[in-house]
Amino acid sequence: MTSAEEQHVVFRRYLDAVGLHGLAGAEAARLHATEWYALSLLDLEGPLTSGELSGRTGLTTGATTRLIDRLERAGYVRRAADPADRRKVVVEPVPDALAGVEAIVGPARGRIAEVLGRYSPEERAVLFDYFARAAPAYREASEEIRKATRERPSK
């Protein structure tokens, strides 16, 4: 077993690699990182209102509107009437456009599947338990950082 310091370094390298992969994917799709993240959210969650998208990305409502405009112009999303409340508009991914995104990330997903395939079913269960618990913890930590940043006096 490695020391706590060595584990910290390994984990940081892992997180950096994941982050850099996201940036590379965004660049390949000719998107900003936040647009890439928003598109992933829409793909995973389904249609979201601009307010929901704003809350999940941490962007202001104005910045979210501009993000949606850019994604719409690029053909990745469309605005549609909310089926539950026709007064609202939801943003939904354009399925055919997401095929291009899959082509970008598919090779990396294959490599990660190979890595995961080296673990026993029990070990994979632990890994996926970690992923399921860590994702919301990171989202909460991100919101804490945003909140602290908003409350910090400007220079």
Answer yes or no: is pLDDT of 64 > 90: yes
| Other Cβ atoms within 10 Å of 73 Cβ, number | 9
Ranges assigned E (strand) in the chain: 48-49, 77-82, 85-93
Structural domains of the chain, with CATH: 4-118 (1.10.10.10)
Answer yes or no: is pLDDT of 1 > 80: no
pLDDT tens digits along 72-102: 999 999 999 888 888 888 999 998 888 888 8
pLDDT tens digits along 67-78: 999 999 999 999
Residue with tokens 């799709």: 29
CA atoms within 13 A on the CB side of 133: 6
pLDDT tens digits along 135-154: 999 989 988 988 888 787 77
Token duo for residue 116: 């995961």
pLDDT tens digits along 28-57: 989 999 999 999 999 999 999 999 999 888
Token duo for residue 132: 């399921």
| 3 state DSSP class of 54 | helix
Helix (H) or strand (E) holding 154: none
